[in-house]
Amino acid sequence: MAGEDEKLYAGRWVARLRGRIIAQGGTPEQARRAAQSRYKETPEIIFMPGNFPLTFPQILDSVRAALPDGLTVYLVGGAVRDALLGRQIHDLDFVLERDAIKIARRVANTLSRAPSPVREPGLPRGNRDYPAGTGTISPRAGTGTISKADFYPLDPERDTGRVIVTNEDGTRSLMDFAAFRGLDLEADMLGRDFTLNAIALNLSDNTIHDPLGGAMDLKEKRLRACSPSTFADDPVRILRGVRLAANFGFHILPETRKAMKGAVGLLGNISPERMRDELFRLLDGLQPAVCLRALDLLGALDKVLPELSALKGVEQTAPHIHDVWEHTLATVSHLESVLAALAPDYNPDTASDLLNGLMVLRIGRYRQQIGETFAAPLTSDRSLRSLLFLAALYHDVAKPQTKKADEEGQLRFWDHDQQGAEIAASRGRALAMSNDEATRLQTVIRNHMRILFHTNRLVREGKPPSRRAVYRFFRDTGAAGVDVCLLTLADLRATYEQTLPQETWAAALDVVRLMLENWFEKPAESIAPTPLVNGDDLMRGLNLQPGKLIGELLEAIREAQAVGTVSSHEEALSCAREYLSKQGSSN
């Protein structure tokens, strides 16, 4: 029966009496309490090993080596969840009974002095054999050699410390150490958000502690709150729950969904920074359009991005087939598929339709550069990719207030790009976004019609963007021009859906390819040519005084260089004289 017991109770604690299992639980205490209610004798409490492999980052071995003997520390949260799911692990969270800040400092000091453990990898300190624990626990290779480890007292009042590990390749890992929130580990787990995040690994003996049945919820693909007060305690968990369900393909249980909806009114109590960070994580995850629709159904979207509600029911004439709200969600959905098809790790099997396949053929050569562009964040905590999805959400936000019918009854939305940029900037300020983020968001939305303009002209007149047009596009957008190109492709797909003419799509791809070619391959020629003169040269050569005019002349010369009509110092001065002559004649 031993083999059957291990399979039946894998990953659980059991109470065994006279060789027979009489009770079980997610923790030793649960198994003991379940047995005491039925038997007077004292049973043996043991952990039944699972038959699943668990792979953790190699740095976990270094943490084990830094801990004092006899101290019980638990790895908790997302790291354990992702190990059970076989997913890549990034950051590590630990809990212990007390002295968490002291232990965090000790770990940081030890890692800084001896970054590589000398013992056999994958084994707890002082243990040469695996106990009857989780079956197979092994380190994940490739975390790099530790360059330094910095300690920060993250929350002294709650006894929480942070260790930031920087590897020689520049990558970073975060490790948080916190004292129990409650009397013991079980109370700590009960106070967490979802059961899939309420699973702990004892670093001393590699046993799993699962008081709320999170492992079974993982297996059954269901999202369940840890307690009835989960969302009242922290309403931002509403957004987190939607994100987790989408990322893992889980079903939110009815009672959890009801509790989420009941706590929506409390979202106004969340700080802008926490709302922003959870929103960006949601946009950076899988199926952001599905997440946004779920937030809307819960009544939470009005609390997070209130300007979007006005988009519902705002009709658009052909070639649009959706109202503005449905078009916006479709744009977000198509943007996800565009970025996936142009990702460095692109899988050809994911280009499931003809239009995506054509896109890959035309501009797939730039997938590495596009990947590098979106791998470079504007801030240390939020991705450029998520900012682009926010731009997609707000690119038509001003259409309700700019909607007008022309003399022929055609609906027009003049200036919606410019007004939309201001609305998005206001929302960015409300979410405490950085100045760089707000500027890039505005730039993308303000210029999101420009690629479409060139596309339509190419279809009608057969004229691709001129060198001057390419220069002016990137003069106005800078690095955000790449964002505009990708958003335009998603916007175009969402406008036409299955009615998109292949000629129009091919023209858009040709325009985007031309823009990306100049940005990635010929920046010194057509985007930012090497200056031929400076302000002093102009003032001396043309007898001018300092002022705004000098900047205008330098810009005129740069544009002439990009167009190809100026290539020397003398030609630059001649260009400036011609500019002054035109200015004089116009006055």
The alpha carbon of residue 200 and the mean position of all alpha carbons in its chain are separated, in whole angstroms, by 25
Is the pLDDT assigned to residue 329 strictly greater than 60? Answer: yes
- In the chain, the amino acid numbered 462 is G
* CA–CA distance, 563 with 2 (Å, rounded to integer): 80
Q: What is the pLDDT of residue 239?
A: 98
Is the pLDDT assigned to residue 121 strictly greater than 50? Answer: no
* CA–CA distance, 174 with 149 (Å, rounded to integer): 10
Is the pLDDT assigned to residue 350 strictly greater than 60? Answer: no
Q: Can you state the percent helix, strand and coil of the chain, rounding each to 5? A: 55, 15, 30
* CA–CA distance, 53 with 56 (Å, rounded to integer): 10
Q: How confident is the model at residue 5 (pLDDT cuts 50, 70, 90)?
A: low
* 545-to-447, 551, 570, 573 alpha-carbon distances in Å: 34, 12, 20, 15
* CA–CA distance, 196 with 231 (Å, rounded to integer): 16
* CA–CA distance, 165 with 312 (Å, rounded to integer): 46
Q: What is the pLDDT of residue 135?
A: 44
Is the pLDDT assigned to residue 119 strictly greater than 50? Answer: no
Q: How confident is the model at residue 585 (pLDDT cuts 50, 70, 90)?
A: low
Closest CA relative to residue 332, chosen from 380, 260, 394: 394
Q: Tens digit of pLDDT for each residue in 212-225?
A: 999 999 999 999 99
Give yes or no for a contact between 481 and 519, defined as CB atoms under 8 angstroms apart: yes
* CA–CA distance, 164 with 152 (Å, rounded to integer): 8
Provide the H-helix boundaries in 311-365. 324-341, 354-363
* CA–CA distance, 204 with 60 (Å, rounded to integer): 12
Number of H helices, E strands in the chain: 27, 16
Q: What is the pLDDT of residue 349?
A: 64
* CA–CA distance, 27 with 188 (Å, rounded to integer): 13
Q: What is the pLDDT of residue 122?
A: 40
Q: Which residue ranges form the domains of the chain, and what is each CATH number?
A: 2-47 (no CATH), 53-220 (3.30.460.10), 225-298 (1.10.110.30), 316-527 (no CATH), 535-586 (no CATH)
Is the pLDDT assigned to residue 547 strictly greater than 90? Answer: yes
Q: How confident is the model at residue 136 (pLDDT cuts 50, 70, 90)?
A: very low
Determine the average pLDDT of the residues in 351-356. 78
Q: What is the pLDDT of residue 378?
A: 79
Long-range interactions of 20-28: CB distance < 8 A, separation 24+: 25/211, 26/209, 26/210, 26/211, 26/212, 26/213, 26/214, 26/215, 27/185, 27/186, 27/209, 27/210, 27/211, 28/209
Is the pLDDT assigned to residue 64 strictly greater than 80? Answer: yes
Determine the average pLDDT of the residues in 232-239. 97
For tokens 């609906």, the residue is: 411
Q: Pull the structure tokens for residue 486.
A: 């990708």
Range with lowest mean pLDDT among 109-123, 307-321, 486-500: 109-123
* CA–CA distance, 401 with 349 (Å, rounded to integer): 42
Beta-ladder partners of 21: 16
Q: What is the pLDDT of residue 284?
A: 94
Question: DSSP secondary structure string, 354-372?
Answer: HHHHHHHHHHGGGHHHHHH
Q: Show Cβ contacts of residue 568 under 8 Å, excluding neighbours closer than 6 positions.
A: 532
Determine the average pLDDT of the residues in 315-341. 96
Q: Show Cβ contacts of residue 270 under 8 Å, excluding neighbours closer than 6 positions.
A: 235, 236
Rg, C-alpha atoms of the chain: 29
- Omega before residue 319 within 30° of 0, cis: yes
Give yes or no for a contact between 494 and 327, defined as CB atoms under 8 angstroms apart: yes
Return mean pLDDT, the chain: 90
Beta-ladder partners of 15: 23, 45
Beta-ladder partners of 257: none
Determine the average pLDDT of the residues in 415-432. 97
- For residue 19, count CB atoms less than 10 angstroms from its CB and return exposed for 0-12, middle for 13-18, buried for 19 or more: exposed
Is the pLDDT assigned to residue 20 strictly greater than 50? Answer: yes
**Cβ-based neighbour number of residue 317 at 10 Å:** 10
Range with lowest mean pLDDT among 77-91, 278-292, 300-314, 437-451: 77-91
Give yes or no for a contact between 413 and 447, defined as CB atoms under 8 angstroms apart: no
Q: What is the pTM of this model?
A: 0.88
* CA–CA distance, 412 with 420 (Å, rounded to integer): 15
